[in-house]
Amino acid sequence: MMMKKIQMQTPIVELDGDEMTRILWKMIKAELITPFVDLKSEYYDLGLVHREETKDAVTVEASNAIARLGVGVKCATITPNEQRMSEYNLSEKYKSPNGTLRAILDGTVFRTPICIDCIKPVVKNWKKPITIARHAYGDIYKATEFRVPEKGKAELVFTGENGTNFRQTIYDFECPGVIQGLYNKDNSIKSFARSCFNYALDAKEDLWFSAKDTISKKYDQTFRDIFQEIFENEFKEKFAEAGIIYFYTLIDDAIARVIRSEGGFIWACKNYDGDVMSDMISTAFGSLAMMTSVLVSPDGKYEYEAAHGTVTRHYYKYLKGEETSTNPMATIFAWSGALSKRGELDGNKELEAFGHNLEKACFETLNSGIMTKDLVHLAEGIEAKAVSSEEFIKIIRAHLQEDLKLD
């Protein structure tokens, strides 16, 4: 029996990417999306070849489209380095597309591991996923730094438009060294805080925020104060109603608590802490290939993607005609997340349910022991079989068809 495809009211923004994930992207669409959904999408090709052709204008257009339409799904993309400059014959070392997206959407990145029964976290007491919320603006990523070449005085100077002036000695160098200046903005910290509080309400999970305000008495203290103020003024009652809590704690203490916890909460981190801790969390839960990522702007725009990169090593094997067993889970979950969210925003129950069914079909496949190579050696208490990406996706499709009661 042919099924009537699920209809969409509003398009999602589709951002294609590079290398192995670009190959997976095509397979996922062909096998798991377009047979079931009458896909409406605004397509932007962020593959490096097209970014070069448009001098990266395509990245800005795609980001604006997400701001306009509200939901996007993105494939992993290459961030050019010296080697990529020559490999792709680039005229410019383009900025990371994710950086451009974050700057335009002013968002916070939430990363959550996909957990399955047969893959036990390294930390035995973790029972539920831990979501890391990373402030995606400023600090060390926007720092100015240089090497101090000789003896001399380093100063911190601020010249205000209305006449405030600060000048303070950082260090009287008696020998060469290094120096770095970094900043953040109240507006960005407020957006970060609001995105985190809203996300916690959505997920109905506690929110933790950690920084180092005992050492950084102005910088990190400002983060702590802004979070507290926004919580008191805008979210305290909503949190009480939802039965969840918010608290601040020192990053050292947070790490100890995270390790002892059962999971099932959101851990908000400053930019660098979030970068580093999300790798720790994903590895401890099993695999970077099982980590999803969503950028949420303070006004409720969503961009879904996998946390991993373009899996270059597998792509080169693929180009040589070898069969690859790259894990498509995080990329599939980017699609399911985006379609479910689109459904939710449009009051389209069928589309919303489709996203959940797609995830269910993935879990059914993994729980039956069918998985990609990266997961096989992690699986316990199950007879696991490694299949190629293509086979894996085809088996998910079969489960999905059955769940949707189709022949």
Q: Is 249 helix (H, G, I), strand (E, B) or coil?
A: strand
Residue type at 364 in one-letter notation: E
Of Mg ion, ligand NAP, none, which one sits near residue 69, judging by CB under 5 to 8 A according to partner kind?
none
Burial of 354 (0-12, 13-18, 19+ CB in 10 A): buried
Confirm if 387 and 370 have CB atoms less than 8 A apart: yes
Of Mg ion, ligand NAP, none, which one sits near residue 78, judging by CB under 5 to 8 A according to partner kind?
ligand NAP
Residue 90 φ/ψ region, left for φ over 0, alpha for ψ in the -120 to 50 degree band, beta for the rest:
beta
- For the CB of residue 171, give the shortest distance to ligand NAP in the complex, in Å: 35
* Binding residue count for ligand NAP, defined by CB under 6 A: 17
Confirm if 12 and 374 have CB atoms less than 8 A apart: no
Tokens of 52: 């070069």
Of Mg ion, ligand NAP, none, which one sits near residue 326, judging by CB under 5 to 8 A according to partner kind?
ligand NAP
- For the CB of residue 19, give the shortest distance to ligand NAP in the complex, in Å: 7
Of Mg ion, ligand NAP, none, which one sits near residue 313, judging by CB under 5 to 8 A according to partner kind?
ligand NAP
Q: Does 311 bind ligand NAP (CB under 6 A)?
A: yes
Binding residue for ligand NAP (CB under 6 A) from 116, 289, 339, 361? 289
Residue nearest to Mg ion as judged by C-beta position: 275
Contact set for ligand NAP, span 29-88 (CB under 6 A): 76-79
- For the CB of residue 22, give the shortest distance to ligand NAP in the complex, in Å: 11
Residue nearest to ligand NAP as judged by C-beta position: 309
Of Mg ion, ligand NAP, none, which one sits near residue 275, judging by CB under 5 to 8 A according to partner kind?
Mg ion
Of Mg ion, ligand NAP, none, which one sits near residue 98, judging by CB under 5 to 8 A according to partner kind?
ligand NAP
Cβ distance to ligand NAP smaller for residue 161 or 322: 322
- Which of these segments, 148-156, 195-203, 238-246, 307-315, binds ligand NAP (CB under 6 A)? 307-315
Tokens of 231: 């919580």
Cβ distance to ligand NAP smaller for residue 59 or 98: 98
Confirm if 116 and 378 have CB atoms less than 8 A apart: no
Positions touching Mg ion (CB under 5 A) are 275, 279
- Composition of the chain by helix, strand, coil, percent to 5: 45, 20, 35
What is the contact mask toward ligand NAP in residues 316 to 345, using x (rule: CB under 6 A)? ----------xx------------------
Of Mg ion, ligand NAP, none, which one sits near residue 348, judging by CB under 5 to 8 A according to partner kind?
none
Residue 283 φ/ψ region, left for φ over 0, alpha for ψ in the -120 to 50 degree band, beta for the rest:
alpha
51 vs 57: CA distance, rounded Å? 7
Binding residue for ligand NAP (CB under 6 A) from 136, 196, 230, 288? 288
Measure Cα distances from 33 to 340, 372, 400 in Å: 12, 20, 10
Q: Does 374 bind ligand NAP (CB under 6 A)?
A: yes
- For the CB of residue 103, give the shortest distance to ligand NAP in the complex, in Å: 15
Cβ distance to ligand NAP smaller for residue 111 or 301: 111
Cβ distance to ligand NAP smaller for residue 294 or 351: 294
345 vs 330: CA distance, rounded Å? 22
**Helices 329-346 and 349-367, packing angle to 10 deg:** 160
Of 269, 138, 257, 275, whose CA–CA distance to 196 is shortest? 269
How many CB atoms sit inside 10 A of residue 280's CB? Answer: 14
Of 13, 143, 24, whose CA–CA distance to 392 is shortest? 24
Question: Which positions ≥6 away from 314 have C-beta within 8 Å?
Answer: 20, 324, 326
Binding residue for ligand NAP (CB under 6 A) from 98, 108, 112, 184? 98
Q: In the complex, which residues of this chain contact ligand NAP (CB under 6 A)?
A: 76-79, 98, 288-289, 305, 308-313, 326-327, 374
